[in-house]
Amino acid sequence: MNDISPNLFIDALLGYQKTAALKAALELDLFGTIADGNGAPEAIAARVNASPRGIRILCDYLTVQGFLEKNGGSYGLMPSTAAFLTRSSPAWMGSVAEFLAAPEMVTLWLDDPAGFVRNGGSVGLGSLAPDHPLWVTFATAMTPFMSPVASALVAEAAGWPAAPKRILDVAAGHGIFGISLAKTIPEAEVTALDWIPVLVVAQENAVAAGLAGRYRTLPGSAFEVDWGGGYDLVLLTNFLHHFDRETCIGLLRKAGASLEAEGRVLAVEFVPNDDRVSPPFPATFAFMMLGSTPKGDAYTAREFEEMGRAAGFANVTVVPVPPTAQSFVTFSRNP
């Protein structure tokens, strides 16, 4: 009986307070201030123009949550905090909060959660509404989260028999996947497909990467625009999970029709095991799709293989991308 406790329940209900604490810390640059050697509450408060009492309570809370350590009356950074939540770190990921904790996202989840469960998906189109402004936020904020996966894609492509020269990046968002490939493949040309406001962000990133002459845009809906043909690689990064099985098959067929004979389609996805409760992040991702899309899901490797075969692909491989929670799902015609 000693193991029976309401702590898990209470902690889950108060999850919004964890979000609030991190948003406060990021806005105040709390972690960067501590990294600069200002570990005492009074020193932090003076640096960030905040109340010493407020800083003490926030730092104690973040210590309990595992982001800080406390020695006497002074605070220090845990290794992961130093790596991902200080602006001076090359792995800085704090901007992700602008998307994951955006007011639109919070409202989407907390206004009527029983409603999207009863409905089996978001009431209305959720984040899939045409030209939804949230995707501009995604494009500007989520690049640090996707950069490790994009770097892994470059390494993956280096092992292919031939480097892709013509690349179509569907729902390109920030464009980091196509841009990363083009930076390492001098002959590669990228076509990015997305809504116009989102493509502005991708185009800016391409120009900053020195790819202005090899980066073109294709504005509009992936379901309505003619993708063209002759591509060596079609990227469907973090896209298929927004839709049901039949829609995914249709997108894969459209991608296949856009490929050269030896071309391939590569998706980036959160892929749970067949039990659907492991690994933790991919397994819980299905709930994110339940609340934010009408019919999206997190698909298993077996389900991707079935969809690929239905779309005309003879070979489907699923390769995890550690240490991230994502996987590469590759579709090709050749066995």
Residue 123: its pLDDT value, please?
Answer: 80
Type of residue numbered 184: T
Helix residue ranges, H only, 90-175: 97-100, 103-110, 113-119, 134-141, 143-158
Answer yes or no: is pLDDT of 51 > 90.
yes
CB 171 within 8 A of CB 237: yes
Q: Is the pTM of this model over 0.85?
A: yes
The residue ranking higher by pLDDT, 273 or 137, is: 273
CB 317 within 8 A of CB 302: no
As a whole-number percent, the residues of the chain with pLDDT over 90 amount to 88
Model confidence band, residue 131 (pLDDT cutoffs 50, 70, 90): low
CB 106 within 8 A of CB 77: no
Least confident of 107-116, 260-269, 294-303: 107-116
Answer yes or no: is pLDDT of 227 > 90.
yes
Residue 127: its pLDDT value, please?
Answer: 60
Pairwise CA distance, residues 327 & 237, whole Å: 10
pLDDT tens column, 1-12 = 568 999 999 999
DSSP assigned state of 36: T
Give the Å distances, CA to CA, from 179 to 148, 154, 173: 13, 10, 11
Sequence-ordered list of residues with C-beta below 8 angstroms from that of 262, at least 6 positions apart, any chain: 162, 232, 334
- The dihedral through the CA atoms of 52, 58, 63, 68 has a sign that is negative
DSSP letters, 41-79, are HHHHHHHHT--HHHHHHHHHHHHHTTSEEEETTEEEE-H
How much is the average pLDDT of 308-325? Answer: 97
CA proximity to 235, closest of 286, 161, 170, 165: 170
Q: Which two tokens stand for residue 196?
A: 């116009």
pLDDT tens column, 153-192 = 999 999 999 999 999 999 999 999 999 999 999 999 999 9
Pairwise CA distance, residues 24 & 47, whole Å: 15
Sheet order of strands, 315-320 included: 215-219, 189-194, 166-170, 231-237, 259-269, 327-332, 315-320
pLDDT tens column, 300-313 = 999 999 999 999 99
CB 76 within 8 A of CB 34: yes
